[in-house]
Amino acid sequence: MVVYFHNKNIKYIVSQVKAKKEKWVYRAVHIQNITIILKQAFYLISMSSGIMEQYQKYCAIRDFARKNNIIDLSGCSFLCPTCLLPLINFIKNNPDMEYVSAPYNVEKYISIVDKKEYSENATYVPPIYLPQKYSEAEEVIEILRKHHNNGIDYGGQDAFNYMIGELIDNIYQHSQFENASIMAQRYEKLGFVEITIYDDGLSIPFCFEKHDISIHNDCQAIEEAIKGRSTKSDERGYGLATTTNLYVNGCNAQFFIVSRNGAWHKSKIDETFYNTEGLYTFSGTLVSLRIPYPINKVNIYDYIA
């Protein structure tokens, strides 16, 4: 079929199509903007349930349990690895305490995560326990790599492997742990992944004390560790310093460390030390990272040199 248009008509049709197209383009941009705004809102909401708040939640549950012999999770609505990983260890270490379940969805989540099973499409990585034998640790790290798709969306495999290697290596070098584990949860709608590493070993401040290194308080001990002061030699101590630099400045991540009576929270725009003596003390060391997800490959050599 051949259709003939008058020149005028063609011009009119073309202008209409253009106008509609512009309208749709405008709508698409508008939707894109709303998506960005929503993502930012989600991120802000997630910040209100930030790493420190999650750690404080764990401490509150632990404190109540110690006083009342009841592990009460009935008020828990949102548990991130920073709260959940030490909590799972606390529950395991106190089997005689009465247990009050969390709300249905949270309890279901805990039971799934704690089964240590992992499926390809899961957004979580269940707690993976580090073996006492250093020589067996490589196998565990290999499992982590597999579960995290080699860190491709967490700044690339170089960054991810560097971070995992240095943080786990620190545990074996310094902590003398009985229990150490690592878990992660990816929050795709909120746009971040949280990775938490737990050990019940010596703690950073005690490690300095053990080596007769004079430190005023536990916050200073953490500060010195991040600055790269090593109990071994001056040539060492780069691991924590470079990993925090890589992830905070290279990947825009949040970094949280609590060890005995000190804690440190760092993001690109904010930094706080906490005196955690008392209710918020931690026997051992807990390290948590909140990494924007997904995040493009980072050139690690810009941050570790």
List of residues contacting other proteins (CB under 8 A): 56, 134-135, 137-138, 141-142, 145, 157-158, 161-162, 164-166, 168-169, 172-173, 216-217, 219-220, 223, 226-228, 235-239, 241-242, 244-245, 248-249, 261, 263-264, 266, 271-280, 301, 303-305
- Exposed/middle/buried for 285, CB within 10 Å: 0-12, 13-18, 19+? buried
In the complex, minimum distance from the CB of residue 64 to other proteins, in angstroms, rounded to a whole number: 12
Residue 55 or 109: which CB sits closer to other proteins? 55
In the complex, minimum distance from the CB of residue 283 to other proteins, in angstroms, rounded to a whole number: 16
Are β-strands 98-100 and 70-72 bridged in parallel, bridged antiparallel, or unpaired? parallel
Residue 165 or 294: which CB sits closer to other proteins? 165
In the complex, minimum distance from the CB of residue 14 to other proteins, in angstroms, rounded to a whole number: 54
Residue 239 or 284: which CB sits closer to other proteins? 239
Residue 113 or 257: which CB sits closer to other proteins? 257
Residue 138 or 188: which CB sits closer to other proteins? 138
In the complex, minimum distance from the CB of residue 269 to other proteins, in angstroms, rounded to a whole number: 11
Q: Which long-range contacts (CB under 8 A, 24 or more apart) does 63-68 make?
A: 63/279, 65/90, 65/94, 65/97
Q: Is 294 helix (H, G, I), strand (E, B) or coil?
A: coil
Residue 104 or 301: which CB sits closer to other proteins? 301
Q: Do 224 and 21 touch, CB atoms closer than 8 A?
A: no
In the complex, minimum distance from the CB of residue 271 to other proteins, in angstroms, rounded to a whole number: 5
Q: How far apart are CA 301 and CA 242, in angstroms?
A: 10
Paired strand residues for 260: 282
Are β-strands 282-292 and 254-260 bridged in parallel, bridged antiparallel, or unpaired? antiparallel
What percentage of the chain's residues is helix, strand, coil (to nearest 5)?
50, 20, 30
What tokens appear for 296 in the block?
A: 């493009």
What tokens appear for 163 in the block?
A: 């971070």
In the complex, minimum distance from the CB of residue 268 to other proteins, in angstroms, rounded to a whole number: 11
